[in-house]
Amino acid sequence: MSKDVYILGIESSCDETSVAIVKNGSEDIATVVLSQMDTHANYGGVVPEIASRMHVENITMVIEECLTKANMTMDDITAIAVTYGPGLIGSLLVGVVAAETLAYVYNKPLVPVHHIAGHIYANNLTKKMEFPLIALVVSGGHTELVYMKDNYCFEKIGGTLDDAVGEAYDKVARIIKVPYPGGPLVDKMSYDGQDNYSLPTPLADGSYNFSFSGLKSAVINLVHNEEQRGHEINKADLACSFQQRVVDILAKKTMMALENYDVKNLIIAGGVAANSGIRTRLKELCEEKNYNLTIPEFRYCTDNATMIAAAGYFAYLKGRTSGLDLKAKANTVLE
Ligand code: KG4
Ligand code: ZN
């Protein structure tokens, strides 16, 4: 039997300092996530300078805590995987430098992982991914449809032309005065409301691209107009109407991709994969069409290092290692 592979993953692309150890790309041995959310909530969004400083303060402690939790030492680790981009450059740098240092000191291979590859491979922690597949990646920074013929072969077939879906959720939350990050609360509120507001369906064309800025602006204008008229907004109804439009378009284009690419496996990835509207709708549609749907557990939807270590395993098997001169990249395409 071949030897087990233990990947230590590091994720610091935004406001979570996270370190995890994953066995053979699928088994979570230990995960530590230190979220800075409470700090950034005071500012209504992530403040990059504060985020990178907090990563610097915490990274060593989080690495140590993860090893302790796993009851392992660096000698037990096969390779080190790290998010090199995309994300906030100052935040990414902290994780990359930590990974390079560990790789140098302990003489371990260094495996660069694209943040979106991490979100996609979060699914492998739930169920072994089967190919070919379509991945719907929905997060605070991304909205993409990705076709994967095989492990670690990514073909982006569509993406957002402006705002990411999570970003639109957070902005809508802000306008209806829901605290940051508003996505989960808007999702929750939508269940107490009715689809009573007339909002546009964004970019309902035959492409695999998305656009959420028009829908977001429509919500902002509606709220301002109602305020000027002295009318009260029904927040639950507005959340419901917004969520309906978002779910409609995401589901429509995802199903279109599955059909046109003749693919039977769908995975959802990213923070917005936690959205109950999206989960429910795609579950129903996939049952109807007999497609296999995998959605990560909630704790693996938002940023974490477990997904980075899982993706890192497959990148490592493909020989996608890097020298110790690995650079953090704020913008980088998934390939
Ligand atoms: O993947 P993630 O942790 O960070 C990025 O890589 O961007 O995603 C965070 C985003 C935030 O915009 C947050 O509001 C959104 O995911 N989000 C949700 C839900 N849970 C998290 N949006 C809608 N419904 C949810 N249940
Ligand atoms: Zn993310």
Same domain for 98 and 135, yes or no, is no
Same domain for 19 and 161, yes or no, is no
pLDDT tens sequence for the chain (335 residues)? 569 999 999 999 988 999 999 999 999 999 999 888 888 887 777 888 888 998 989 999 999 999 999 999 999 999 999 999 999 999 999 999 999 999 999 999 999 999 999 999 999 999 999 999 999 999 988 999 999 999 999 999 999 999 999 999 999 999 999 887 789 999 999 999 999 999 998 888 899 999 999 999 999 999 999 999 999 999 999 999 999 999 999 999 999 999 999 999 999 999 999 999 999 999 999 999 999 999 999 999 999 999 999 999 999 999 999 999 999 999 999 98
CA torsion, ordered 59, 63, 69, 70, to nearest 10 deg: 150
Radius of gyration of the chain, Cα coordinates, nearest whole angstrom: 20
Same domain for 139 and 275, yes or no, is yes
Same domain for 74 and 18, yes or no, is yes
Residue from 15, 139, 244 to probe ligand 1 pocket by mutation (most atoms less than 8 Å from CB): 139
Same domain for 158 and 173, yes or no, is yes
Report angle CA 77, 119, 73 to the nearest 5 degrees.
15
Which tokens in the block code for residue 193?
């409301």
CB of residue 275 inside a 6 A radius of ligand 1:
yes
Same domain for 134 and 104, yes or no, is no
Q: Per the domain annotation, does 88 fall within a domain?
A: yes
Same domain for 16 and 85, yes or no, is yes
Q: Per the domain annotation, does 332 fall within a domain?
A: no
pTM (predicted TM-score): 0.94
Residue 198 CA, ligand 2 centroid: distance in Å: 31
CATH code of the domain covering residue 156: 3.30.420.40
Same domain for 104 and 141, yes or no, is no
> How much is the pLDDT for 40?
81
Contacts of 82 (CB under 8 A, 6+ apart): 9, 10, 11, 95, 96, 98, 99, 110, 111, 112, 113, 308, 312, 326
User: Structurally, how many domains does the chain consist of?
Assistant: 2
Residue 260 structural domain: 128-295
Q: Per the domain annotation, does 85 fall within a domain?
A: yes
Same domain for 160 and 197, yes or no, is yes
Q: Per the domain annotation, does 71 fall within a domain?
A: yes
- The DSSP line for 61-114 is HHHHHHHHHHT--GGG--EEEEEEESS-HHHHHHHHHHHHHHHHHHT--EEEEE
Q: Per the domain annotation, does 324 fall within a domain?
A: no
Q: Per the domain annotation, does 333 fall within a domain?
A: no
Decide: helix, strand or coil at residue 133.
strand
| CA-proximal residue: ligand 1, atom 7 (nearest) | 140
Same domain for 154 and 244, yes or no, is yes
CB of residue 87 inside a 6 A radius of ligand 1:
no
Say what percent of the chain tops pLDDT 90: 87
User: What are the helix (H) ranges across 205-292?
Assistant: 213-228, 235-260, 276-289
Q: Per the domain annotation, does 136 fall within a domain?
A: yes
Same domain for 53 and 109, yes or no, is yes
Q: Per the domain annotation, does 326 fall within a domain?
A: no
Residue 263 CA, ligand 1 centroid: distance in Å: 26
Same domain for 137 and 235, yes or no, is yes
**Of ligand 1's atoms, which has the minimum distance to the CA of residue 302?**
3
